[in-house]
Amino acid sequence: MLTAAGIAAACAGNWIRAEAHHRASIARMKAVPYLTSTTDRPLLVSDMLGDRRGPGDIEAAKSLLQASIATSDAIGLAMHARLARRRFAQIAKDFGHMRLRRVFATRGGRPSSVLNQASPAASVAA
């Protein structure tokens, strides 16, 4: 219910309630052993944060997506990891003025993702 309420609040433009509902949903999923839910909820929250574009929202969205990618990779959810990487790359493209140097390390002049060498976001950082 919290996820649906978060989506509805975001559609209505009520960003404060949307964020509260989404964060409560993530907290609930972390409290129970449903690891798959902890990978898809951050995608919804990152979409809401990207749409809202308030102070710190883009960095928060990136952080949520990084956690989602790490968890997805750890438990073998390739589709969830791929979706999170695509969303991360889209945020990086849309908000190019925000450097990704905190996410990507540079070695020998070529970017290498600390998340995944084949990450679509790695090509964005180049």
Three-class secondary structure assignment of the chain: CHHHHHHHHHHCCCHHHHHHHHHHHHHHHHHCCCHHHHHHHHHHHHHHHHHHCCCCHHHHHHHHHHHHHHHHHHHCCHHHHHHHHHHHHHHHHHCCCCCCCCCEEEECCEEEECCCCCCHHHHHHC
Residue 109 lies in a domain: no
Q: What is the pLDDT of residue 96?
A: 63
Could you give the CA distance from residue 46 to residue 50 in angstroms, rounded to a whole number?
Answer: 6
Residue 48 lies in a domain: yes
What length is written for the chain?
A: 126
Q: What is the pLDDT of residue 50?
A: 85
Residue 33 confidence class, pLDDT cut points 50, 70, 90: low
Give the count of domains, the chain: 1
Residue 104 lies in a domain: no
Residue 106 lies in a domain: no
Residue 119 lies in a domain: no
Residue 93 lies in a domain: yes
Can you give the residue range of the structural domain that contains 25?
Answer: 2-98
For 45-95, the pLDDT digits (tens) are 888 888 888 899 999 999 999 999 998 999 888 998 999 999 999 988 887
Residue 27 lies in a domain: yes
Q: How many CB atoms lie within 10 A of CB 113?
A: 20
Residue 105 lies in a domain: no
Closest of 70, 53, 57 to residue 23, by C-alpha: 57
